[in-house]
A and B are shown apart, each in its own frame.
Chain A
């Protein structure tokens, strides 16, 4: 029984790391723009599908997983420059624009990759690590490592890097930041670049362990959003832990209810957080930034 419980905890943490990575994307964009990016889930699926196509073109797995997020990020930066810069000053308009972007990306995914779910074949498939009788796949280890690397990187970025601090300044007092020489559009573009990079990276990590279809972005996005809300939108890096906690809860719930209900957990968590602690359980206390 204990072994089953620990196995469930591990698989929950693995899944949760994916939610966390996607959640970080939500928080970063919110930090810079005050808006929610509804295309975040689609970034993950598009990143995964690009990697699948690249490996299909005989590119080594490792390169595909690196190149796909970069290509997607360049694509998103281009989209931001062309369409979103003009509406980025108004959070409501930006939200509407990202809903349109989400629908557009979904259509692109359907057009180019079809309806059938597909997965990314990984060189680590089937390889597992036995730790005191607990089996942990290499792909699962990679997911957890990826989430932790993202956490450390973002912690550094927002507390030490000039651009990270400027991003916080822009969202805290936009007019003041502008009058102090900081260009909001620049940092908003950087936020979208981060969001897409992390989303695509999450997609590339999850694709070897779970099949994805053109409309998987909705559910991934919802769970990423719930992770970000759980942690508090003011602390992007903490969404990683929000995701892990959500993944573990989701995983343990199947002990008590049929697994089909698992996906409802994110919605319930979302409602509980928004009702009891809208600033998030891992937040620094401020509604926006600390």
Chain B
């Protein structure tokens, strides 16, 4: 089922086009990667979808609702969870509190009666593999662990879609593989996962669809194997071997 529809989104910053009429859709259970060279507009696209910046034109539909003008916290409450390129955590809190603060403020009503925020937090931390570090101050986590904590915090929203900005950055090979399995697991449960990622091996291994941005424009969209052979995409990456990494 279609969950997110981006229709002709454009955004300019002081004369520079960050996004130019970008259109695409994402569905439940899909693991879609957004790739492109630096400055392609990937993070801007995430900021527009999550409402942290407003598009100059175009529309965003989520779960059948137009959300183009909603505030970021309203979009999050509808089920859009996200992480950031520079993994931000609430450093003054423990790992457990970072997730709990979202679980207890956002999960209301009946779900709260059956599952306490503490239990939800426990199970989310177990899922991302940070359970053993739950009492640690978040500021002491490594860069890779911070990315995992961000994912955990996004999951505490009980989201329908996850926007993950370079989640594999700072992870070693084993951690990257573990992350890939976590994301595939989420997609198989029906979560829609959109990820911006520079690690092409990771993208090719785990994404079931790839969208390529170049200078703010969508230049290709499709299964990873086709994208790897796409001439326009190869050109955008200046013929580098990055796609075959």
Contacts and interface: CB of A to CB of B under 8 A. Distances in A.
Interface of A: 162-163, 165-166, 168-169, 172-173, 175-184, 284, 286, 289-290
B84 A176 contact: yes
Given A165-B97, A166-B105, A181-B102, A173 B52 contact: no
Given A169-B90, A180-B153, 12 more contacts: A162-B117, A172-B91, A172-B92, A176-B84, A178-B71, A179-B72, A180-B106, A181-B73, A181-B106, A182-B102, A183-B71, A183-B73
A182 B105 contact: yes
A173 B71 contact: no
Interface in B149-194: 153-154, 156-157
A162 to B, nearest CB: 4
A165 B52 contact: no
Interface string B96-111: 0100111011100000
B88 interface: yes
Nearest to A288: B92
B42 interface: no
A172 B89 CA distance: 9
A180 B74 CA distance: 9
A286 B137 CA distance: 14
Contacts of B104: 162, 165
A136 B50 CA distance: 59
Contacts, number: 73
A180 B102 contact: yes
Nearest to B72: A178
B105 A173 contact: no
A181 B90 contact: no
B105 A178 contact: no
Given A181-B76, A183-B71, A166 B90 contact: no
Contacts of B88: 173, 175-176
A179 B72 CA distance: 5
Contact of B50 (A179, A183, A184): A179
Interface residue tally on B, bucketed by range? 20 to 34
A184 B105 CA distance: 13
A177 to B, nearest CB: 8
B82 A179 contact: yes
A183 B105 CA distance: 10
Top 6 nearest A-B pairs (CB, nearest first) are A181-B76, A162-B104, A178-B72, A183-B73, A165-B101, A176-B88
A162 B101 contact: yes
Nearest to B78: A181
Contact of B92 (A168, A180, A182): A168
B93 interface: yes
B90 A168 contact: yes
Given A162-B105, A173-B88, A176-B88, A182 B93 contact: no
Contact of B73 (A162, A173, A182): A182
B146 to A, nearest CB: 12
A168 B93 contact: yes
Given A166-B105, A181-B76, A289 B97 contact: no
Contacts of A182: 73, 102, 105-106
Contacts of B117: 162
B77 interface: yes
Contacts of B93: 165, 168-169
Contacts of B97: 165
Among B90, B91, B154, max chain A CB count under 10 A is at: B90
Interface string B42-60: 0000000011100000000
B90 A173 contact: yes
13 contacts: A162-B105, A163-B105, A165-B97, A173-B88, A178-B76, A179-B51, A179-B73, A179-B84, A180-B73, A180-B153, A180-B156, A284-B92, A290-B92
Given A178-B71, A179-B52, A180-B157, A169 B101 contact: yes
A183 to B, nearest CB: 5
A284 B139 CA distance: 15
A184 B73 CA distance: 9
Given A162-B101, A163-B105, A169-B101, A180 B154 contact: yes
A197 to B, nearest CB: 21
Among A165, A173, A179, max chain B CB count under 10 A is at: A179
Contacts of B50: 179
A233 B149 CA distance: 28
Contact of A181 (B52, B89, B105): B105
A179 B81 CA distance: 7
Given A162-B105, A165-B101, A166-B105, A179 B90 contact: no
A81 B156 CA distance: 29
